[in-house]
Structure 1
């Protein structure tokens, strides 16, 4: 923060008119002309009276002009420009010009604007972060960020990352946030917050968000994803009684395609087996389908229950293809037929 003090002389004339001041001074000069000093006075007295008259006119001029000396303090506040760079796995898709991956295109953008960033870093603070499910501060060299070698993040939590950034930048002056991403939000709970509320909050804080999008928007590959949302199962069940398991499958970009959904149960400690498979076929390009399983455990103990969808062609994120929980199988009880 740089502070400078500059003195400024300002005049506030009587009646807010310089013409009025000029008129008064001209009148005094005219009176001086009409009533000259007597020639009978000695030279010394004549000189003294002349100086007194001149001083009187200057004092009147000073009073009429009402000068003020104002000290202006200028404080240059520190400000930041933030670069937010997507390093999730979807940025490795090679659909940019010349067969470049999206991340290579980001790297080229940074390289082509290195001179601008270096110049800006002399006046403002450049901050750079890579993100997938979390924020990662990037090292800078003369205002130019050093990017990771490869984008290998498993999630693209744009909303949660923007919320983290709001907290990170609290109390700071931000000129702008530049988001370099393919714009595809793919995140798991609890990092699956939508980006719109965080973007609106940044706007209310006068911290504008600018997006630079990479990759081509197409229904074929980019928008495809299978998401298992939640897993419903009781935390305990009696042995040889029916265990009901439920989940919701969200299929994006897989209309009219048969999708396997598998139920895995830990039949022995450390050994999970596929005990049931269902086939679901979404009818639209974005559909949420309930899936229900039933299974009768044959042995007691704490068992892992999982619902899994094998990775599908063109799916960019597969970490959301599985949901698991633990169920305690108890001895005794009444067998329900």
Structure 2
């Protein structure tokens, strides 16, 4: 509505009329001093014009315009940019695309409809940040690792920057994966309710219903295996399922070689019996030819699954030539047998079977070991302090034939072994590389005699360099002298005199302690002692492991090369992307300069190399030799994928590089729960229902726009605008120019005409 009014100076109409009267009287009474009519008219006209302008300035005519308008206010819109928005929305698309469409519909419906409404756009995940409202969100990547609804609602209030808040619109799937403190998002929305501010939500994604939460996951597969070609191994893992009752889930094991060729090793059907089920699965497979492989265990994707990244797991497999099956027979449950088993168990390429034959079962000797001594059943036979009668003549004859056919045999010292244990008169006497005397046979019940034993302490000295006795270090002999003395040893008549028989270890008095030899196609080793556990207990556990492993490999005719090579130890070979596992690389070369790098592939499949920051390890720290060179460090944060850790020497001509593959898996909490939580968002909106708060589907943005505009109209207040003459430069300057021009012209004419 528009009207005219006058607002005289000082707000007094009487004063304005009086001033007008005085002005008119002065003009009428003070006439120009000239008798010429035309001059008189010009001067009077100019004075009247100036007086008219002055009168207008005194009266101040005003145009008054009254209108109803909403007050200036801010509308806050928060959109979810966490990784869960990449999941399906339940309608055939992904949640992010649905949210982008909802924002565009909301923005197009509001922009230009209410100029007093300031729309502010926020993006939230684990943090909240402002965005330009001109953004279409098409170029934004939802990569947030967490969703914090509490922080998002708090930041939405602060985004108004002191302006009145017309309302807050929160879009997203409603899944709170961040930490909750102080009542969570509900407490913040209750504050909005107390301020009379509506809270609108736009839930996106399928709800948590039984039919829409179907999932199959492969879990608990070992990270790595070390196998021998042609051996059978049991692959164990779990298949976890949800909402799959009565379904048979196909599972397959696939070998993937270094060229990426895939070969299916086995398939199974896993019957799901419960709504939430975990099935322990054991599938035997045969190792492929020697090489490096990945073993993929995968479950077929089922209808209705929203997350399929957990349908498979990968294990890294190193397949070596041949096998290493060990049979360990002993009669005493002492520390020696316990720590030998513990040392060799560290090496998965050595498969050990053990049998305790106690001495209190003499009445049932010989024990029946069925087919354990038949050729091909085991690769190595390890006999501890065990009397020959426990095995019997027939089985010892069978064992001798098996060793002659290519198996390995190692015998330990003790009170019931070698000639005192009855082996001198057995078929195994021809196999052992030591000379024995049948006359020294002693029954189990007889009193122990020191003439058959070397008294403690037994100091072990190196008699001959050999792959078995290479414990590292610049001076192998000194390495052996540094080991703790043993508690005794069997006294022998000496080694046999035959080709291939060698004394490797002896006492300072040159009494043999370790003799190796050959029998037929098999290798044999006779050890006089049985207290190497003292090495382990004194801190030389690595030397203990190295000695027993190298002995086993020599018996298998696969002794480790004496060539120096880099050994890599990685804490884990399958870990989450946010983890940073430690690694260590060691080479038995003093002063070698080592460097580490990550080898991966980019999106185009090209190899990428990323150098790693490493630190030099203190010599001897956790190592077997002070002559080792070592580095250590931590892997950086990496995206999900398959990588290789490569360690190389500064001089590649002296040391070959070593590599170990590992997998970075995506264990994001955002992707772990595929279901949205629209119920929670509706509950939040209902907290402000008294002020218009409500939840709207992504396809109902037009309804939300109408609600927002209707509330803006309901919040209109009268706004009065006055356009007063002379208050602004648009009217003030013209009045001044007319007044000044009239008086200046009147003065100039009087001067021209020579008037006073």
Q: TM-score, normalised by structure 2?
A: 0.26
**CA separation of 1:82 and 1:318: change in aligned 2, threshold 3 A:** same
Does residue 271 of structure 2 align to residue 286 of structure 1? no
Q: Secondary structure at the match of 1:162?
A: coil
What is the aligned partner in structure 2 of residue 88 from structure 1? 86
CA distance in 2, matches of 1:318, 1:106: 22
CA distance in 2, matches of 1:121, 1:242: 76
What is the aligned partner in structure 2 of residue 127 from structure 1? 122
Task: Compute the displacement of 1:164 (Å).
Answer: 12
Conserved in 1, the CA contact under 8 Å of 2:86 and 2:96?
no
**CA separation of 1:248 and 1:135: change in aligned 2, threshold 3 A:** farther
CA distance in 2, matches of 1:138, 1:230: 42
Does residue 104 of structure 2 align to residue 106 of structure 1? no
Point out the more displaced range, 256-265 or 283-292.
283-292
Q: Map 1:168-317; keep pairs closer than 5 Å.
A: 173=158, 178-181=170-173, 195-200=176-181, 203=184, 212-215=202-205, 217=207, 219=209, 221-266=211-256, 269-317=259-307
CA distance in 1, matches of 2:224, 2:237: 13
Gaps in structure 2 of 5+ consecutive residues: 1-75, 161-167, 190-198, 326-350, 352-376, 378-756
Aligned length: 232
Q: Secondary structure at the match of 1:90?
A: coil
CA distance in 1, matches of 2:132, 2:116: 10
What is the aligned partner in structure 2 of residue 28 from structure 1? none
What is the aligned partner in structure 1 of residue 146 from structure 2? 161
CA distance in 2, matches of 1:113, 1:303: 53
**CA separation of 1:259 and 1:120: change in aligned 2, threshold 3 A:** farther
What is the aligned partner in structure 2 of residue 24 from structure 1? none
Q: Select the structure of larger CA radius of gyration.
A: 2
Task: Compute the displacement of 1:256 (Å).
Answer: 1.0
Task: Compute the displacement of 1:104 (Å).
Answer: 6.5
Q: Identify, as 1 or 2, the structure richer in strand.
A: 1
Gaps in structure 1 of 5+ consecutive residues: 1-79, 95-99, 186-194
**CA separation of 1:216 and 1:127: change in aligned 2, threshold 3 A:** closer
Q: TM-score, normalised by structure 1?
A: 0.52
CA distance in 2, matches of 1:237, 1:305: 12
Conserved in 1, the CA contact under 8 Å of 2:147 and 2:178?
no
What is the aligned partner in structure 1 of residue 314 from structure 2? 324
Task: Compute the displacement of 1:270 (Å).
Answer: 2.6
Conserved in 1, the CA contact under 8 Å of 2:230 and 2:322?
no
**CA separation of 1:81 and 1:214: change in aligned 2, threshold 3 A:** closer
Conserved in 1, the CA contact under 8 Å of 2:223 and 2:314?
no
Conserved in 1, the CA contact under 8 Å of 2:122 and 2:128?
no
**CA separation of 1:327 and 1:216: change in aligned 2, threshold 3 A:** closer
CA distance in 1, matches of 2:77, 2:249: 45
**CA separation of 1:333 and 1:225: change in aligned 2, threshold 3 A:** same
